[in-house]
Structure 1
Amino acid sequence: MTKQNGPTKERELILDILMEILEYGGYSHVVLKKALDKHQYLEKQNRAFITRVVEGTIEYLLTIDAVIDQCSKTKVKKMKPVIRTILRMSVYQILKMDRIPDSAVCDEAVKLAVKRKFHGLKGFVNGVLRTISREKETFVFTDWSRKYSMPDWIIELWKQQYPAETVERMMQAFLEERPTSVRCNLDRASMEEILQSLEQDHVTVQKNPLADHALLLSGYDYLDAVTAFREGWITVQDVSSSFVGEAADPKPGDKVLDVCGAPGGKSLHIADKLAGTGQVVVRDLTENKILLVEDNIRRTGFTNIRAEVWDALEEDPSWEEQADIVIADLPCSGLGIIGKKPDIKYQVTKEDLEDLAELQKDILSVVWNYVKPGGKLIYSTCTIDHLENEDQRNWILETLPFEPVSIEGAFGSQIKEETMKDGYIQLLPGRYPCDGFFISAFRRKA
């Protein structure tokens, strides 16, 4: 690759990735990873640039579209998809990336338009971007939807459930830069060995302030090049998700069933905590999801865990009253992980929340019976919506033969909420440095 066509090549990649996500509904984390895996020959800084522009454009999409609409006679929704995407990715660079001269952004955008056979629109692209460049200091949005690039209906939903300052802090937190959160498999290697290995690989490491078993990583190129990851000593998992394993608190020899477990982070954590004893079975709906779990099992090397394809809505008599612990981390809207998967906020609808809440009930109506009397059910989601969380907890207590189990102190000294004595917690971004996550613990009545 020559130096001259380097920037254009990178931007072509960005354009293709964003087209697949924004125009064709691809999942941002899947599409981006696939593209970066295919172009591993690119320099680390080039890959970092591609990642930042793709993720940033998606994160600030509503803000970007509002800016374009102010400066273009043709509104965003009326533009040709390729031109719309070129403008969006270029506006992100103009507004948020000071190191790149605006003139270079404009020139590259024009080159892209021509290369994609829109020669007749190069003047339009150039004119809109140069106007935005001149006027960029004047774009100040006070309404939360355009300021934080969050759909109005989600803001209104959260305002009904949380104080306004909590809602705003959550939206700010979603836009903050996030290191990679990993959980250490401490039955595989000591923290000292893990830290030493990461240092040798020149990875920037921070201790996670919320948990001794978790670290925050940055400065690496890709994870497969990190020895501690390849050796199975660390697993990518947000600290909030890892608290499921802490709430489950497995005892040596426990039999554990994770009913919707791909890609397997929670199950692997429990296998790690069982230190070679017991049995963990992790299930999910499709072969592809289970292949992800099996990859992680192979990489980590745990022998007390296996994965299998199973529809959680289908009863399995062989598990009736057999599990010491059932993990029900069920399909949800994902509103708590917008910081990692920003396209969620544009794809999910209010109707989806209602449908998912019904699906959760349907699954719970089947899997509760796998818990042996005196055993535990851990219900969790990666969302921050009452309908999928507190309302479901109430439904379990009213409908199924379970009582709450206190989780006070289960997550260490940094996590303290009044609700924990009643067996549940809603972790909120902005309040804690983690994803939005809900965990509720129950014991089956004898």
Structure 2
Amino acid sequence: MAAAELRDDRRAHGVRNDPRTLVIKHLATQSRRFPDLDIASFETPSLSARDAGLAYAIDQAVARRWLTLVTVIEHFLKQPWEDLGPNVRAALLAGAAQLLLLDRIPDHAAINESVEYTKRGPHRWAPGLVNAVLRRVAALRLEARETFDPARRDELPRGEGGAWRLTTPVFSEDATIRLAEQTSHAYETLDAWAGRLGPEVMRRLALHDLVHPPVIVTGAGATGAPHAEPGFFVFDGDHAALATMLAQHPGVRVQDPGSARPVAATASLRPTLIVDACAGKGTKTRQLAAVHPDTRIIATDRDPRRAAVLAESVKSLPLVEAIPYRHLEQWRGKADLLLLDVPCSNSGVLARRVEAKYRLRPENIESLRDTQRQIIADTLPLLAPNGHMLYATCSIDPIENESQAEWVTKWHPFRVVSSELALPTGQPGTPETAYRDGGYHALLNASA
């Protein structure tokens, strides 16, 4: 970080216990990191529930539409975006997000707090610039439209459906670049999707990533609006009501239907020992216990924080044992089913992992591919003769999916029993019961 940025940060961030100041401070840190946004939750312990909700909404709106907001803001700038400094960029992003993406926030509140924030910084020009730009952003809104027309340069789609018709065509004349700007994707991502899946599927995927995903529950005791996929329900209560349901019904899981598909593919198997080697926080582990109720399950994860959550998640399941990752070796040659829900690009769940779409760079995908192959190579010795490996990702990229299954069968004695690529479903304005995450899985059998 440059010395000027450090001075900017120290002077601009007096301790003020209000949601907009806290979120702008957080966004200044994120601005320094972009495109590698911090995935840790934005913590607001000092705020009331109402103010914390506002801060979270602003933070999520900016993260989901970062590139869209930058495109709009740059239309009114005379200097390059990167020359503004992180605190000025953060103030503009927070203000523009409130003006264009959030409802029931008075324009003066969104603008004034961003201006006041920059007054505490070292740049005398900053308050005037932020005030002028945000007032022009507010003036862009011509009318709310019930539908979004991607062919227009003067429409900004909204996650809940519809669009803002703008007074000025701020988006690109090129169709793919325009949609990338309107939906906050890198052009290269949409171009790759169009080349692989066709332009119409690419448009659906881009718009899907604007949707605010619902909370979906499944398992014995789950209630809510019936999802399009049987056995799943959209939960519409608050956090306290969800916590009550989970406490009263231990068999209930918060799990998207897309996430549940890989384990469901093992229902016809009769394993005596399952090893879940990338168990994360335990959602698929608990699903394994429901699908295979008489089977012993060993679960672990490399990350100590996730492993701690995993141990707590499965402690009530008598046949499930959470172990340290370093103890996996003792199960060498014993697993009838090995589940590898490997780290991935999250390209099938970008509506949930809003920061991930800015990391979809070729070098990152190639690094993940190598990590996935190393995990496969390290854990294959755990399988018993004629055992099955279930490989799963929440990606829709063939480099992480079909190519990995092909790699396994080329270099190891395995055959693919079944596989599925499921693209995400749900569009802005469509029912929550139609929403589903995307992902891939392949069930492979040791053939020698």
- SS for the counterpart of 1:226 is helix
* Structure 1 partner of 2:260: 242
- 2:346 corresponds to which of 314, 334, 343: 334
One-letter code aligned to 2:446: R
* Structure 2 partner of 1:18: 27
Cα distance change of structure 1 residues 304 and 55 upon mapping to structure 2, 3 Å threshold: same
Cα distance, 1:252 vs structure 2:
6.4
Structure 2 residues without counterparts, runs of 5 or longer: 1-15, 142-165, 427-433
> 1:445, 1:342 → 2: CA distance?
40
Q: Are 2:71 and 2:170, in contact at CA under 8 Å, matched by a contact in 1?
A: no
Q: Are 1:107 and 2:112 matched, yes or no?
A: yes
* Structure 2 partner of 1:417: none
Deviation sequence 1:359-413 (CA, Å, 0-9, x none): 22222223223222332211111111111111111222222222222xxxxxxxx
> 2:409, 2:119 → 1: CA distance?
62
Q: Are 1:47 and 2:56 matched, yes or no?
A: no
- SS for the counterpart of 1:430 is coil
- 1:289 corresponds to which of 306, 323, 326: 306
- 1:131 corresponds to which of 136, 144, 168: 136
* Structure 1 partner of 2:99: 94
One-letter code aligned to 1:363: I
- What are the within-5 Å matches in structure 2 for residues 148-159 of structure 1? 148-159=183-194
* Structure 1 partner of 2:154: none
Q: Are 1:279 and 2:296 matched, yes or no?
A: yes
Cα distance, 1:27 vs structure 2:
5.6
- 2:358 corresponds to which of 326, 343, 346: 346
Deviation sequence 1:180-230 (CA, Å, 0-9, x none): 12332x3xxxx3xx43xxxxxxxxx32221241x2222341467x621224
One-letter code aligned to 1:241: S
> 1:437, 1:375 → 2: CA distance?
23
* Structure 2 partner of 1:71: 76
**Which shows bigger deviation, 247-256 or 147-156?**
247-256
Cα distance, 1:272 vs structure 2:
2.5
Q: Are 1:19 and 1:85, in contact at CA under 8 Å, matched by a contact in 2?
A: yes
Cα distance change of structure 1 residues 82 and 17 upon mapping to structure 2, 3 Å threshold: same
Cα distance, 1:119 vs structure 2:
6.1
Cα distance change of structure 1 residues 282 and 173 upon mapping to structure 2, 3 Å threshold: same
Cα distance, 1:77 vs structure 2:
1.1
One-letter code aligned to 2:420: I
* Structure 1 partner of 2:64: 59
Q: Are 1:254 and 2:272 matched, yes or no?
A: yes
Structure 1 residues without counterparts, runs of 5 or longer: 1-6, 196-204, 406-422
One-letter code aligned to 2:285: S
**Count of aligned pairs between the two proteins:** 394
Cα distance change of structure 1 residues 129 and 219 upon mapping to structure 2, 3 Å threshold: farther
One-letter code aligned to 1:442: L
One-letter code aligned to 1:178: P
Cα distance change of structure 1 residues 220 and 266 upon mapping to structure 2, 3 Å threshold: same
User: What RMSD in Å do the two structures reach over aligned CA positions?
Assistant: 2.6
> 2:369, 2:240 → 1: CA distance?
36
> 1:8, 1:68 → 2: CA distance?
27
- SS for the counterpart of 2:140 is helix
> 1:263, 1:302 → 2: CA distance?
14
Deviation sequence 1:295-335 (CA, Å, 0-9, x none): 2224xx21211222326xx982x333311210011121121
Cα distance change of structure 1 residues 20 and 247 upon mapping to structure 2, 3 Å threshold: farther
> 2:384, 2:371 → 1: CA distance?
23
Q: Are 2:209 and 2:350, in contact at CA under 8 Å, matched by a contact in 1?
A: yes
Cα distance change of structure 1 residues 15 and 151 upon mapping to structure 2, 3 Å threshold: same
Q: Are 1:250 and 1:274, in contact at CA under 8 Å, matched by a contact in 2?
A: no
- 2:324 corresponds to which of 306, 309, 313: 309
More helix by share: 1
Identity in percent? 22
Q: Are 1:394 and 2:409 matched, yes or no?
A: no
Q: Are 1:443 and 2:445 matched, yes or no?
A: yes
- TM-score, normalized by length of structure 2? 0.81
Q: Are 1:9 and 2:30 matched, yes or no?
A: no
* Structure 2 partner of 1:267: 285
Q: Are 1:68 and 1:75, in contact at CA under 8 Å, matched by a contact in 2?
A: no
Large movers: runs of 4+ above 6 Å: none
Q: Are 1:163 and 2:198 matched, yes or no?
A: yes
Cα distance, 1:429 vs structure 2:
1.6
- TM-score, normalized by length of structure 1? 0.81
One-letter code aligned to 1:106: I
> 1:387, 1:133 → 2: CA distance?
42
One-letter code aligned to 1:170: L
> 1:343, 1:436 → 2: CA distance?
16
Cα distance, 1:135 vs structure 2:
2.8
> 1:265, 1:96 → 2: CA distance?
32
Deviation sequence 1:49-77 (CA, Å, 0-9, x none): 32222111111111110111111223321
Cα distance, 1:110 vs structure 2:
1.6
* Structure 2 partner of 1:210: 229
One-letter code aligned to 2:115: V
**Which shows bigger deviation, 245-254 or 161-170?**
245-254
> 1:157, 1:180 → 2: CA distance?
30
Q: Are 2:349 and 2:395, in contact at CA under 8 Å, matched by a contact in 1?
A: yes
